[in-house]
Structures are given as structure tokens and as C-alpha cells.
Chain A
């Protein structure tokens, strides 16, 4: 029943081709533009063919965007801080949701989902005033603090489902044998949940890396703390954008998350879709 005749095959592949063109064209064109010399890009109408492709823009961009290295470091630093903090808050909470029965358990779980639906834009004003009062505007903290809040809900849901996969019998057996809660946590839960923790940590990292715009343009004006998206966005305002270098820098900026995701896509997608599909 899964056999397709040649015509059907051609139609399906053609459909996939059109669909994929829509999805991937921007990336392909960004990469192509990054390889072309600037005077080839600045021809109207668009020239499809360039004969002298090179990686020159990838060297030159460091001069054109002098703080690019710093922006990349900032993006990594911010995303790592957010991911680690998120894990610290989420591990105990997810464990409680996976293992204990308590009043308001389901209600609070759904409330968490509801929080996910609020855009950060709705709460910018009080946060702006709060950060200003605390003297935290224009600092790393101004981007980390709100970032963590918006990753906690999904991370709790994800990690909860990993904890639930660890058989409770193991813990009960250890408890009967006289192990303390701390011992159970160290010797049973921790090793068994490492894969889940890694996946949730990476999910938080990717999420934190991806959300570095709204809070960053609102709460931080200092160049030395800017992550890649806002750093590059500043350059678009300039009169003549060196598009080949801009595209090179953009691709370098998205590469880390893309690689992380490709290696771990199976686990992340499984975790995220499990809630919506099988639940």
C-alpha cells in the first residue's frame, strides 16, 4: 500500500522541492551573497551568476563590525547563563511534579503553560522600571533575568516527562533499604536523568540564544554587552550596508544553534511534540 507509481513519485518530489525552496531559499541566498564580492551584489537587476566566489567577507567582517567577536562571546555567555539558571530552578520543580501528589498540581502546571503564551512585550514596562530601580539597565543581568523566566515553564514540562520515565520502584526499593533522599537523588535520579538534563539544558540554551532581541534592545544600550542579533541589527541602520559581510556575520551567528540542533533534533522534537501529540 505504500508503493507509489512513477507519476506520483515525481509529483511528491516536486512538491517537496517547492516546499523546501520556500524554507531554505533565505539560507542559500544568504550563503551565496556572503561569498560574492560587493560590486556583484550591487547590480540591479539581480545577477544570478558570479565567477569569483570567495570567503573574503568572512575575514573582512571582523574589521567592518569591530565588536563582532565580543557580540558572539556575549551571545554564548548570555545563553549559557540563562540555561544554567533555568536548570537550577527547574530541576527541583520538575522532580516535584513528576513524583509527588499535592493540591493544585494540575492547575499550576496549566498556569505554567499559560505563562508561555504571554509575550515579553506585555511586561516590559514594569520590568524596565524594576531594572532601572535596581540599577541593572545596560548590563548582562538585564537580559538574563527576564530570559530565564520565559524558559522555566516549557523546561519544567520537558524535564517532568523525563523524570516520569525513571521507574518509581527503583526509588522505593532504595528507600526501603534505608537510603536517604539525598542518596537517592545522587545515586539513582542523577545518573538516570542525565540525558534528560542535557536535552533540557540544550533546549534552554537554544531558546535563550534565540530570544536575544526584545529584552536586549529594550534593556541594554551598551555595545559591550550586546548579543549578536542586536549588534548586527545596529549595522542595518547605516547608509550603505556591506551585505556580503553582513550575511557572513549573520550565518556565523546562527551556526552554533543550528549545529546543536541538528545533532540533538531527534530528542528535542520528541520531547516537545510528545506533550501536544500523545498527551
Chain B
């Protein structure tokens, strides 16, 4: 009987049967639509119907200056957002890792932006950014930095920065929590040995903590690059990609093309570009994860 439990083929069939429902569901709702998007990108599909148009959508897209601007903007937006998340997250994790009173409460208090529905959090930010009555404009006016009401979401540059800040606000808690978890996983005896050798707190951070949590820092950079790239709700609610396209990232553009104008073909071509970039990120991430896992299992 025990033999049967371990028998390889029987196991395989049972395992596949157990996984089948979830696998089929994902194939139908995620994998098939991904392939279908690729097919649609070669058509002029709309609500009226579709015809095969070859590479037309791609040619139009890549020759449009606007699209190239959107790609550049996406990466600039991502770069600032991800860097800020990592830097603020790392500083936050160091602070909350300090052995002081109240740290367990602070650790819970960092999480709300991560947990609450992004769309609802953004309603709050809309109020904060309000040019006449919001608290940020208010502080600006009272301290004299602003000489009058200022609509943060109404001007190109300030809207760009404002959406980044809101995105950082949403993404930082998770980065902080992961860094904190990694810091707690660093073996204590490393610190004790260093302390006995007379290493300063600074040394201990740069020579022990930082190298020890580097794998997590790298993983988190990639993960947050992916999530930031996918960020839709934040920009959509704050600016809908405006003013005059200044916060239109690839995801926003894809959405507008596809479901704002019901030009499925053009939207699909943009979605394919998004897909390819995401696959690159995902490939990097998975390769990295596999390497880290291998390294750990070898030790």
C-alpha cells in the first residue's frame, strides 16, 4: 500500500487531476487572452468587425512621435518611482528595525497604503492635491512657497511628479515590510562577532546588513519595477493620463486606445509591446530567483 502511495505514475495522474481546474481556468482567462491579443494586433478589430491588416498597427505605432514619447515617459516615471520606493523603503526598514519602544506598533502602521484599495486611497490624494483647498497647497501658501492656489494635477510637470509621489506612497509599505523581514533574517551572531571586534553601528550596517539583504533588494527592485510599470489606477484616477498627455504611460495609453476608442487592433498592438516588456522583466526576475534558490540550496 505504501508502495502505491509513492508510485510515480499514479501520483502524476492524481496531481494533474488536482491541478487541472486551476490550470484550465488560468488558460482560459489569462493565457488565451494573451495569445488572442497578439492575433488582434494584426487586425483592425473594432466593435464593427475585423480584417487582417498585417503590420499596419505596429508601423503606425512606432512611427508616431507620440508613442515614442510615451515609451520614454513610462521609463522615466518608473525610474523615479522605483528608486524612491527602494530608498524610502530601505530607510524606513532601518528605522523600524531599531530596537526601540513602539516598533511593533509602527510596523503595523506602515501597512495601510498597501492594504486599502488603491482606488479609494487615491480619492484621498485627490483631496490632498486640491489646488485651492488641499492641505499641500495650503501649507505652500502659508509658508510662502506658493504665491496662490496651485493645482498640482493641472500642470504637466507637477502632475508628473504628483502621480509619482502617490505611486511611491502606495508601493513603499510593501518594500519596507520585505526589507524589514530580510533584516530580521540576518543571523544575530554575525552582529555579535562584529560588535566584539569593535565594528561601529555604521560598519555593521554596510558590511553585514546590506550585503546580507542584497538578494532581497534585487528581487524587490525587479518586482517593484514590474508593479510600477503596471500601475494603472493611480494615474487613471488622479489625471486620466493628462494634462495634455503628460502622465500617459504605456498602460494608460493601451487602455485609452483599446477601450476609450474601441480600436481593439491598435490597443492590442500596444498591449503586445507591454507584454514583451513585462516578459523581459519577468524573465529577469525568474532567472534571478532560480539562481538565488540554487545558491541557497548549495550552501
Query: What residues of chain A have their CB less than 8 Å away from a CB belonging to chain B?
Result: 1-2, 4, 9, 12-13, 15-16, 19-20, 22-27, 29-30, 33, 41-48, 88-90, 92-93, 95-97, 99-103, 105, 108, 110, 112-115, 117-119, 121-130, 145-146, 148-150, 152-153, 156, 172, 175-176, 178, 206, 209-214, 218, 228-230, 232-233, 236, 243, 246-247, 250, 253-254, 257-258, 261-262, 265, 269, 273, 276-279
Contact = CB atoms under 8 A, between A and B. Distances in A.
Contacts, number: 297
A42 B256 CA distance: 33
B117 A228 contact: yes
Given A9-B100, A29-B124, A45-B137, A102 B271 contact: no
A99 B10 CA distance: 13
A121 B251 contact: yes
Contacts of A124: 255, 258-259, 271
A257 B229 CA distance: 25
A258 B115 CA distance: 7
A176 B8 CA distance: 18
B141 A46 contact: yes
B267 interface: yes
A145 B126 contact: no
Given A93-B21, A96-B19, A121 B121 contact: no
Given A250-B120, A261-B111, A119 B251 contact: yes
B237 to A, nearest CB: 6
Closest 4 CB pairs of A and B: A46-B138, A229-B119, A119-B230, A123-B33
A243 B124 CA distance: 9
A213 B117 contact: yes
Given A22-B169, A41-B133, A102 B26 contact: no
A89 B21 contact: yes
A247 B98 contact: no
A129 B119 contact: no
Max chain A C-beta neighbours (<10 A), residue from B26, B34, B169, B177: B26
Contacts of A12: 95, 98, 100
A64 B1 CA distance: 68
B86 to A, nearest CB: 14
Interface in B204-228: 216, 219-220, 223, 226
A243 B134 CA distance: 10
Given A122-B271, A125-B40, A145-B29, A265 B123 contact: no
A278 B292 CA distance: 10
Residue of B18, B106, B124, B285 with highest tally of chain A CB at under 10 A: B124
9 contacts: A19-B91, A20-B110, A22-B169, A26-B169, A46-B138, A110-B289, A149-B25, A176-B1, A273-B181
Interface string B14-37: 111011011101100110111011
